[in-house]
Amino acid sequence: MRKMVNLVFHGIDDPPRQLEPGEERVWVTSRQLEFALDSVAEHPWVGISFDDGNASDLRIALPSLAQRNLKAIFFITVGRLNVPGYLDPHGVRELSRAGMVIGCHGMTHQRWRGLPAVRLREETLDAKNALEQVLGHAVTTVACPYGSYDRRSLFACRQAGYRHVLTCDRLSSSPDAWLQHRSMIFRHHNAAGILHIIDGELHGLRLIRQRLRVLLKHWI
């Protein structure tokens, strides 16, 4: 079976809120999004996801996906529901009703590496429970904010009952793997850069280096 290449987008077009430091690098234009989605339509091994629960998920991403008959996973920062610039519970339910998968992106959008157990439980289990209350059905997938995880946070995800954890480790993954890697689409990516990511894996030394990095994260 061919491995999946998973893409991750964040906000689209002009941000309606103050961005976090460095966040502007991951806001893309609707032109970039549409180019990527048109390219993905020809590649069934590519998965699409959107992180953070921005208002542009509903306003821009959903119609762009629907036009192309594509599905995606939307990872919601649960503690930011109702914060201006982000989705509200109604918007999350609308995405779900449109056939999109809703996943959890933690409660407060912080790095999971090194968090104490009680905070990890809030970010994984409490956030999952709160999102399930909004949706009225189970949430089985989680994406760690900033792609930051370690052995303990993966254990917390298992304890919380997630079936898949999504990272930003730029590797391809088997569709049924517990840990699924993704590649971020950045604002600086041009068409060739986007196609390069969609086309697949890192090769040679870069691939070996990245696999080692991922291996270390599991054990430290």
According to the binding rule CB under 5 A, does residue 53 interact with Zn ion?
A: no
Judged by CB under 5 A, the chain residues 137 through 196 that form the site for Zn ion are 145
Nearer to Zn ion, 123 or 150 (CB): 123
Nearer to Zn ion, 144 or 197 (CB): 144
CA gap 162, 89 in Å, rounded: 21
Interaction between residue 52 and Zn ion (CB under 5 A): yes
Least separation in angstroms between residue 57's CB and Zn ion is 12
Taking the complex as a whole, the smallest distance from the CB of residue 164 to Zn ion amounts, in Å, to 16
Residue in 95, 109, 177, 106 with CA at minimum distance from that of residue 137: 95
Of 65 and 166, which has the nearer Cβ to Zn ion? 166
Q: Which CB sits closer to Zn ion, 47 or 145?
A: 145
Cα–Cα distance, 113 to 203 (Å, whole number): 27
Least Å distance, CB 122 to Zn ion, is: 16
CB 81 within 8 A of CB 95: no
Nearer to Zn ion, 35 or 86 (CB): 86
# of chain residues touching Zn ion (CB under 5 A): 3
Q: Residue 49: in which H helix or E strand, if any?
A: strand 46-52
For residue 69, the minimal CB distance to Zn ion (Å) is 27
The H-or-E segment that residue 64 falls in is: helix 62-67
Q: Compute how many other C-beta atoms are within 10 angstroms of the C-beta atom of residue 158.
A: 12
Q: Among 8, 9, 51, 95, indicate the residue that binds Zn ion (CB under 5 A).
A: 51
Chain centre to alpha carbon of residue 152 = 20
Closest residue to Zn ion using C-beta atoms: 51
Full 3-state SS string of 99-162:
CCEEEECCCCCCCCCCCCHHHHHHHHHHHHHHHHHHHCCCCCEEECHHHCCCHHHHHHHHHHCC
The least CB distance from residue 106 to Zn ion, in Å, is 8
Q: Interface with Zn ion by CB under 5 A: which residues?
A: 51-52, 145
